[in-house]
Amino acid sequence: MDLDLLCETAEAMVAPGKGILAADESTGTITKRFDSISLESTPDSRRDWREMLLRTAPAMTDHISGVIMYDETLRQNAADGTPLVKLITDAGAVPGIKVDTGAKPLAGSEGETITEGLDGLRDRLSEYFEIGARFAKWRAVINIGKDGDDSMPSQYCIATNVHALARYAALCQEASIVPIVEPEVIMDGDHSIERCYEVTEFTLKSLYRELFDQGVVLEGTILKPNMIISGTKAESRAGVEEVADMTVECLANCVPVAVPGIAFLSGGQSDEEATAHLQAMNSGYDTPWPLTFSYGRALQAAPLKTWAGKKDNYEAAQAAFNHRARMNGLAALGEYEENMEKEMA
């Protein structure tokens, strides 16, 4: 373990005004995204899409601190032969890699999942470091029961998932790779914001207990949590200020100050909603950690729709990516205003 490298990398990932581009969609997931624009998903089309994003300036140089990649992408070269990893480092960002193999049904607990991928992880991390990855990501999935079912998530589900997250984190640090720990409480459902708070609080407290027990150095980690938000089908959904208030309160109750930064997932929020929530937190609170973004769809949806797989739309798609990256970069500084969406588009 190179502790200095871990801390240096973690600090770079949460640099002021910058956030992380989550471009780690599995082949199956990106195929569904491409289906929405009637584009065939092939190694070359996936490469072309991601290369376009990585060559976008000033988004990559000014607003993106790191890029999470899928195994295929980490190994790919651009059309001109340049490794995609080099495009990222040349832009001043940190290359990262998704290392879990997905959420699978949790034995003995219907409707809940456990994230797999620990088998062989030590060897994979060693190889990923040699290729150029300096951080990794592992996502645990925590579902909230519907129609007032308080039995989900079960303590069993949370315990097994945070244990796996901590094992992954320890292996990452052994390889001098910063682990992003991502315990995502899913926003799908009819639950209230109060129920989201309750589940998230228990999950985060369980997570940090496991990280401590397994000897993970918190200064060399990044937390990627959900925001405290009402379920998508809730009868009455909380507004921006309430989401910001309850999210910061929950984090203050659960996250040690030793953590270098918190990079939120968007979790299915709309582009502007995810930006507005981040802005409200940064403008309204002075927190002990930088609060920034690690968005996938909330950064990529607009440019993907604009691009539609056509070369003629390349520059327009890059402009759309520049815009969303800039809006979120400003929100990470607490300097975003809603009217900027039209003024700077």
Give pLDDT < 50 ranges for the chain. none
Arithmetic mean of pLDDT over the chain? 94
According to DSSP, the β-strands at 291-295 and 262-264 are parallel
According to DSSP, the β-strands at 103-105 and 113-115 are antiparallel
Q: Where are the domains of the chain?
A: 3-343
206 in Cβ contact with 198 (< 8 Å): no
Residue 344: predicted pLDDT? 57
Q: For the chain, give the number of residues.
A: 345
Residue 267: predicted pLDDT? 84
With vertex at residue 288, the alpha carbon angle to CA 10 and CA 9, rounded to the nearest 5 degrees, is 5
Q: How far is the CA of 233 from the CAs of 32, 146, 272, in angstroms?
A: 23, 10, 19
| Coil/strand/helix, residue 255 | coil
> Where are the extended beta strands (E) located within 57-201?
64-69, 94-98, 103-105, 113-115, 135-142, 178-185
Residue 258: predicted pLDDT? 97
pLDDT tens digits, residue range 7-56?
999 999 999 999 999 999 999 999 999 999 999 999 999 999 999 999 99
Catalytic residue, from 224, 242, 338, 342: name it.
224
CA 263 to the chain's CA centroid: 7
pLDDT tens digits, residue range 77-124?
999 999 999 999 999 999 999 999 999 999 999 899 999 999 999 999
Q: Is 86 a catalytic residue?
A: no
What H or E segment, with its residue span, contains residue 330? helix 314-333
Residue 235: predicted pLDDT? 84
Catalytic residue, from 112, 182, 184, 210: name it.
182
Residue with tokens 């401590």: 212
Residue 345: predicted pLDDT? 52
Which residues does 34 contact at the CB level (< 8 Å), separation at least 6? 40, 41, 45, 46, 49, 309
Tell me how crowded residue 151 is: count the other CB atoms within 10 A of its CB.
Answer: 9
**Which of 305, 310, 338, 246 lies closest to 36, judged by CA?**
305
Q: Is 224 a catalytic residue?
A: yes
Residue 343: predicted pLDDT? 67
What H or E segment, with its residue span, contains residue 138? strand 135-142
What pTM, to 2 d.p., does this model score?
0.94
> Where are the extended beta strands (E) located within 300-344?
none
Please give the Cα distance from 54 to 265 (Å, whole number): 20
Which residues does 218 contact at the CB level (< 8 Å), separation at least 6? 208, 211, 256, 258, 259
CATH topology of domain 3-343: TIM Barrel (3.20.20)
